[in-house]
Chain A
Amino acid sequence: MMELFFEFILGFFAVIGYAYYYNIPYKTLHVSGFIGAVGWTMYNLGVYFDVANLGVFIGSICIGFLGEFFSRKYKLPATIYLIPGIIPLVPGMSMYFMMYNIVMKNYYEAFNQGLNAAVVAGAISIGLFIASSTWVKITRVKNIVR
């Protein structure tokens, strides 16, 4: 539990760093840091229960929902929150190990890692897509009810 909290803090600062690099408006730096940290914590939960890819998927759904929520709240385009939010989830590790194993001529392992990278990239984008399209539906239903 303590470790997860530690990861949350680290994710927060990591995402703030990347967000600054991508020229996020200064006032919303902490929000994007928070969103990214939630995603990163979900990923770590997934790693803890030995279902890392599911963690990535749920993390990106969380990022999508939070991004849409805060983009309505602060009247900014959702992309501002989504781009830095997904950065920690991106399959850089798998890509690196794929390349490393190609250099070391372990082609079987390289293929495994490459496929894993593709799956993770797909999981992120499908998660974001599900979140944003569900959000659109929810707001539409709300408007009809009103």
Chain B
Amino acid sequence: MKIAMKTGEQLLVNGAEIYRVEDTVYRILESVINVTEIEVISTYSSIMISFYYDVHITCIKKIKDRTINLYKIKKVNDFSRRFVRGDISFDEAETILEDIEGIEPYSGKYRVAMAAFGSSMFTLGLKGTALDAIMTFIAVLISQFVLSRTRHTGRKYFMETLYGAVIVSFVAILADSLNIISNLDLVIIGSIMILFPGVAITNAVRDIMNGDMVSGLIGMIQATFVSIALAIGVGLIIKSYIFLGGLL
């Protein structure tokens, strides 16, 4: 019970699709003897498990914050396969899951640097010049650094995206007004790519096509709001720059 709940929670928190969460939890419960009438329902913000083991047992878990951490998904996937095969006892399973929860494969600094590197390569790919790419690198570096330093204050996803977009477009406009970069649009596009909820939108549409309507709709709405936050952030800066007399 505990194990199944923990597995589902780990998958969901780290950005797995809904059908993967439901399937994995179902298989784990199925592999235990004497458990029948299993039902698993999951949305992006909660998991509900119900099964029959002498009595009916139901458990509900609320998920607060979701990120994307594919390494943990891989680990949980390996774990659940081994558990279903019967290689792991219950006591071992709990310690393994706790280990997975605390794991961090790469340090934060390198992750931010690589994100900035990827964004600058993307700007180059959109036919930007080398200086554009360097400015993208700097913009993403600054925004991700500020965001990761202030994450412990407990912001929600909306404000986080908004701040990210504001910082990115501020840096880009500053560079543009100093005539460093050739194309403002490309720098901003490259830099907001890392904040953009493209993965969320795509996963949501896939959920809907798989038949998980509720989760798909929740995902769509969240992605829409993240896009709105991005638009507000970038628009705010551009608008105030024009208001202050700048020319684009």
CB distance from A11 to the nearest CB of B (A): 6
Chain B residues, CB < 8 A from A84: 70
Chain B residues, CB < 8 A from A93: 126, 189
Q: Are B198 and A90 in contact (CB under 8 A)?
A: yes
Chain B interface size, under 10 / 10 to 19 / 20 to 34 / 35 or more: 35 or more
Q: Are A96 and B189 in contact (CB under 8 A)?
A: yes
Across chains A and B, which 3 residue pairs bring their CB atoms closest together, nearest first? A17-B118, A90-B198, A125-B205
Question: With A and B bound together, what is the CA distance between A88 and B125 in angstroms?
Answer: 10
Binary flags per residue of A1-33, CB closer than 8 Å to B gives 1, else 0? 000000100110111111111111110000000
Identify B239's interface contact among A16, A92, A103, CB under 8 A. A103
A45 interfacial by beta-carbon distance below 8 Å: no
Question: Which residues of B line the A interface, CB within 8 A?
Answer: 15-17, 20, 68-74, 77, 104-106, 110-112, 114-119, 121-122, 124-126, 185, 188-189, 192-194, 196, 198-199, 201-202, 205-206, 209, 227, 230-231, 234-235, 238-239, 242
Nearest A residue to B235 by beta-carbon distance?
Answer: A103
CB distance from A135 to the nearest CB of B (A): 14
- Give the secondary structure class of A's interface: helix
* A21, A97, A102: most-surrounded residue (chain B CB, <10 A): A21
Chain B residues, CB < 8 A from A87: 193, 198-199
Q: Are B198 and A92 in contact (CB under 8 A)?
A: yes
Interface residues in A59-87 (C-beta closer than 8 Å to B): 76-77, 79-80, 83-84, 86-87
Listed by A's residue number, 18 A-B pairs whose Cβ atoms lie within 8 Å are A7-B125, A11-B121, A14-B119, A18-B118, A22-B70, A23-B70, A25-B70, A76-B74, A80-B73, A87-B198, A90-B199, A93-B126, A99-B231, A99-B235, A124-B198, A125-B201, A125-B202, A129-B209
Chain A interface size, under 10 / 10 to 19 / 20 to 34 / 35 or more: 35 or more
A91 interfacial by beta-carbon distance below 8 Å: yes
Question: With A and B bound together, what is the CA distance between A17 and B117 in angstroms?
Answer: 6
Q: Are B74 and A21 in contact (CB under 8 A)?
A: no
Identify A92's interface contact among B105, B116, B196, B205, CB under 8 A. B196
Q: Are B125 and A83 in contact (CB under 8 A)?
A: no
Q: Are B205 and A122 in contact (CB under 8 A)?
A: yes
Q: Are B106 and A23 in contact (CB under 8 A)?
A: yes
Chain B residues, CB < 8 A from A18: 114-115, 118, 193-194
